[in-house]
Amino acid sequence: MPYGRRYAKPNETTRRALLGGTLLGTTGLLLGGTAAATTSLPSALAPTVASTDAWGARPPRSEPVVLAQPSDKIIVHHTATTNSRDYSRAHAFELARSIQDYHMDHNGWIDTGQHFTLSRGGHITEGRHHSLAAFDGGNSHVVSAHTSGQNRLAIGIENEGTYDSVAFPSTQYDKLVELCVALCASYGIDPYEIYGHRDFNATACPGDRLYALLGELRADVAASVGGDPTGVSWPLLRPGDENERVRMLQHLLNEHGAALTTDGIYGPATESAVSDFQRSTGAIVDGLAGNQTWNQAVRNRENGDSGSAVRAVQHRLGTTVDGIFGPVTESAVRNFQNGRGLRVDGVVDARTWDELLG
């Protein structure tokens, strides 16, 4: 079985984890823990999710780590397995067990890699243990293993099938919309923060046909939860460039462990740092700062944060560059967001980063 063959690194200690938020019953969000046979979301838009107990999961090899911080994006995958014509719930449970077996026995992981699995018949199962309980508890999420460099930040959804050239089934698509609506509503995730696996790692996942649907998926989710469905578009920087975008890139790379002079010059040291960062996150290693590099490099920054990424924000906004995100920086961010027609919340998210680079 090819489950997990798209993951860039088998060592879970290098992977990022998902984080979760409080689920409000009035908005149709995921409720209930792993002890329940199924978990019903309390609205017409909310799908039913079968827990690990319901589909007969093995115990995890060790207890999954839970982090007390919300996720900020959703990453869509395909399982790269046979496009089964068995649309039954029993088949969905068998799929969930097969994936767990592969991830634990072949990849050496502690449990299923993703948080949710969606079968071709439209049945949703909980992936890694405690994912539903973490959602129900609020402001926490389970450390997982679905996208190198992003597992501390993103919810992972695996969709049964291979969608390089085969169309994504309408039943499966409708359930994917419902699940993304529930997750976006609970976490406050903007629809533009729905991505494909290839937006971060060197992979073809989730297949050309499913990846081509992500714009429609964002729009359909936005129709229910509001927000901006337009995907983020990053600039392409390359050796020889000299500008403020390069300076911001250098600050961001320093945030991830580089030691660059933030001079705005894309020279050999910056190219080498980009390549090293790409290699460490499972991205395509080409020394060019494009889509995957920016997606991996940016992190939400807000009042109380500090570091080189905050310096990048401060430099761009013309405030004191001390690397401390305090009230003055927050006010400057809010003013910038207001002037650019963005959501004014003082948080430098992907959309605000994108505008700062504009």
What whole-number distance in Å separates Cα of residue 298 and Cα of residue 281?
A: 13
Structural contact between residues 151 and 145, judged by C-beta atoms closer than 8 angstroms = yes
Amino acid at 287: G
What whole-number distance in Å separates Cα of residue 310 and Cα of residue 134?
A: 30
Q: What is the pLDDT of residue 140?
A: 76
Q: How many CA atoms lie within 13 A of 306 on its CB side?
A: 5
Give this prediction's pTM: 0.88
Q: What is the pLDDT of residue 45?
A: 52
Strand order from edge to edge, sheet including 116-118: 38-40, 48-50, 124-126, 116-118, 154-159, 73-78, 194-196
Radius of gyration of the chain (CA): 20
Alpha-helix runs per DSSP H in 10-118: 89-105
What whole-number distance in Å separates Cα of residue 128 and Cα of residue 139?
A: 17
Q: What is the pLDDT of residue 187?
A: 79
List all residues 6 or more positions away from 206 whose beta carbon is below 8 Å from its beta carbon: 76, 77, 78, 159, 163, 196, 197, 198
pLDDT tens by residue, the chain, 358 residues = 344 433 333 233 222 222 222 222 323 334 333 333 444 334 445 679 999 999 999 999 999 999 888 778 999 999 999 999 999 999 999 999 999 999 999 999 999 999 999 999 999 999 999 888 777 655 777 889 999 999 988 999 999 999 999 999 999 999 999 999 988 888 788 999 999 999 999 999 999 999 999 999 999 999 999 999 999 999 999 999 999 999 999 999 999 999 999 999 999 999 999 999 999 999 999 999 999 999 999 999 999 999 999 999 999 999 999 999 999 999 999 999 999 999 999 999 999 999 999 8
Structural contact between residues 288 and 278, judged by C-beta atoms closer than 8 angstroms = no
